[in-house]
Amino acid sequence: MNVKIHPSWASRLQAEFEAPYFQELTDFVRNEYRTGVCYPPGGKIFNAFDLCPFDQTKVVIIGQDPYHEEGQAEGLCFSVAEGVPHPPSLQNIFKEIEGDLGRPVPRNGSLERWAKQGVLLLNATLTVRAHQAGSHQGKGWERFTDAVIAHLSAERENLVFLLWGSYAQKKGLVIDRSRHLVLCSAHPSPLSAYRGFFGNHHFTLTNDYLISHQIDPIAW
């Protein structure tokens, strides 16, 4: 498969691209985009990888599904395009940053600025049908993103993985805790944010860890 993705990722994921499951996934996704409305836009399906090359990754945040309403998804978990109202989970992420670091809530909900600093904003499933949450789950994306996490765990050192909610925590079981910092808490959604997301101080803890390993911190 000739997948348009940053070269630093392409070389490591070539075995996935050549696997039969990925061919089936590609056929499914192409048909979905051809016959209906899907998100994110086709050119941004691998946006997280293009903005955050393998060797520049410092932090990994694991989401589940792209936003499924018009104009929201831009290929980065929890992020929305500039000018789009902040979804509830993103609002709560910004509230925690404000409480943790004293940074005011930004008007721009795009997290591209994080990605360009080395935060891989990885959804477990990279595409979705319009207005149908979870519609592209179980088609192969999860296997692909499991491989992404496994490569990072095995080939890098001193990364920070932020696992919010049980889904992300299960997906992170493969991470080598002796090589990386893994921070877990409740999910930032309104249903669970008050059960352990607020006050988790993950943004301070992330930067403290990076600094302790002579790595530039993230300007959250």
Nearest to residue 55, comparing CAs of 12, 109, 102, 110?
12
Question: Looking up tokens 């792209």, which residue turns up?
Answer: 66
Beta strands in the chain (DSSP E): 38-39, 59-63, 119-123, 128-129, 160-164, 181-185
**What distance in Å separates the CA atoms of residue 157 and residue 160, rounded to the nearest whole number?**
9
Gyration radius from the chain CA atoms: 17
Count CB atoms within 10 A of the CB of residue 152.
22
Residue 106, classified by CB atoms within 10 Å of its CB into exposed (0-12), middle (13-18) or buried (19+), is middle
* DSSP conformation class of 132: B
**What distance in Å separates the CA atoms of residue 141 and residue 183, rounded to the nearest whole number?**
24
Catalytic-role residue among 65, 100, 208, 216: 65
* DSSP conformation class of 174: G
Contact 122, 47 (CB under 8 A): no
Q: Is 208 a catalytic residue?
A: no
Residues assigned a catalytic role: 65
